[in-house]
Structure 1
């Protein structure tokens, strides 16, 4: 009887070689997917590198939808003409710019240039930019760090009637005792539609908080971290618990990765506060 083992496949047979995958052609990537990837790059990386890869990448990089949001923070660390780059990025949006964040550079003329768009959200740091903020009537969100106390909050409120979010971040060492609530009074008088307010390191007192609650009926998010003149005396504690959905108290931690704040110190007393 013949052995059946001679007809069975060998256990040591070599498997057929695997087919080598064809190298991926990045130029053939769907525009929607490519756009999602490129949006993770910085503005300078897109304009200086990505758009030079190939024609298909350049087409995506020139799409106005790529430039509805522009983030140019931390731009002082590289050797570029950031104001020129920012203007070019604004041009790419073709009037569709909705949100821009600037830090470390800029001028009044740049913000005036940006104001020709339908801007909804602005975050800036250099003091020389703030005087042109009132030229943005469609603004819904404003975030300012460093020397924001020199802002004309009344003028901004009257010129930006749609403002719903205001973040003012600057920790001040000293301020004239008779003007502690000057910012709170200006906000209450001119920005009644506020829903989100951050006064990081402000000198306002319980009086100022009460006035804001009186005049800003839609307010639901209030951040008072480092506002050490607020003590929640009287019925202020109750008012905040009934009205405010999210309240940050003066002693609450600033080490929150989901809500980072630029901590900027400014010594001395403002001239306008001592006049």
Structure 2
């Protein structure tokens, strides 16, 4: 009779199973670990997919600690309408249960959503609005008094003027970081120090300031250096009206630890910007083209210009899960 394999003297004994060979159940992970993973996954993915996996994950996704930070920028290939994104953002804010401290929104924010944010939390420390053209001067001024704990404000690429800067400065005594950026362009030659004067007059506690592409001149820069004595970092890239020479250069070197100059590299700047300096007229050391290149009409202009929610229901965001 043929010997069975179990009695074969040459067969090694079976190896003990290792933890790596065992089936792992994600549902067995500690709740705090799952919460940490959800934070890494991100706002959109948790709202759209993760919370729908099972009842346990849905329950974990309601933990307010997950929603202390809400990040809705760099949305990539998402094709959702602004109304849907607005509704998703409000749902995330509701989940935070008043504990929201940090929020970033790109493009779809409105005055109404901004008011919803500040009415929902008194703990906001960081507010970042990127390309949110529907945020108005009036809308930001209205909510400014409720942002008294704000420490960082990032408004990159907007239609806002100096007015909300002044109101924010007076209403937010703890503000330490301000980013007020636009796309940087070398022409036309427009000089404007209104933003710089507003910052200098109302934000003495600032430590970090980024004014990418601003139209301030040396006078505006001097006012900032005088009005913000605690500045540690200052980003003036593509502020082509600023000419850092002589006493002004020495003043910046003495007062600012981290200075980004107008012509410094812009490879780490995430928005559109002029980076072809080779075409600048050598007669203009500041890098600005002559206003004479504009037509009479353009010159006058620059002189005097100072989806439905039904789709959202598919995501099943009703309270009665």
TM-score category by the smaller chain?
0.7 to 0.9
Counterpart in the other structure of 2:140: 133
Counterpart in the other structure of 2:244: 232
Rate the CA distance shift 1:221–1:103 in 2: closer, same or farther, 3 A.
same
CA apart distance, 1:44: 2.1
Counterpart in the other structure of 1:145: 156
Task: Write the deviation string for residues 153-202 of structure 1: whole angstroms up to 9, x where unpaired.
Answer: 2122122232211111212545674x522211111011111110000011
Match of 1:123 among 100, 121, 128: 128
* SS of match in other structure, 2:40: coil
Structure 1 window deviating more from structure 2 (128-137 vs 59-68): it is 128-137
Task: Write the deviation string for residues 129-174 of structure 1: whole angstroms up to 9, x where unpaired.
Answer: 2433331232211111223453522122122232211111212545
Q: Quick check: 1:33 aligned with 2:70? A: no
In 2, Cα distance between the equivalents of 1:36 and 1:224?
37
Match of 1:171 among 168, 171, 183: 183
* SS of match in other structure, 2:134: helix
Q: Quick check: 1:103 aligned with 2:112? A: no
In 2, Cα distance between the equivalents of 1:79 and 1:221?
37
Counterpart in the other structure of 2:174: 162
Contact 2:215 2:239 in 1 (8 A): yes
Counterpart in the other structure of 2:289: none
Matches within 5 A, 1:202-221: 202-221=214-233
In 2, Cα distance between the equivalents of 1:214 and 1:207?
11
In 2, Cα distance between the equivalents of 1:175 and 1:163?
32
Contact 2:161 2:195 in 1 (8 A): no
Contact 1:121 1:142 in 2 (8 A): yes
Counterpart in the other structure of 2:80: 79
Contact 1:75 1:105 in 2 (8 A): no
Counterpart in the other structure of 2:314: none
Contact 1:63 1:92 in 2 (8 A): yes
TM-score normalised to the size of structure 1? 0.85
In 1, Cα distance between the equivalents of 2:93 and 2:189?
41
CA apart distance, 1:234: 2.8
In 1, Cα distance between the equivalents of 2:304 and 2:176?
27
CA apart distance, 1:64: 0.4
In 2, Cα distance between the equivalents of 1:108 and 1:190?
23
Contact 1:100 1:121 in 2 (8 A): yes
CA RMSD of aligned residues (A): 2.5
Rate the CA distance shift 1:254–1:114 in 2: closer, same or farther, 3 A.
same
Rate the CA distance shift 1:103–1:273 in 2: closer, same or farther, 3 A.
farther
Structure 1 window deviating more from structure 2 (207-216 vs 160-169): it is 160-169
Aligned positions, number = 260
CA apart distance, 1:206: 1.6
* SS of match in other structure, 2:179: strand
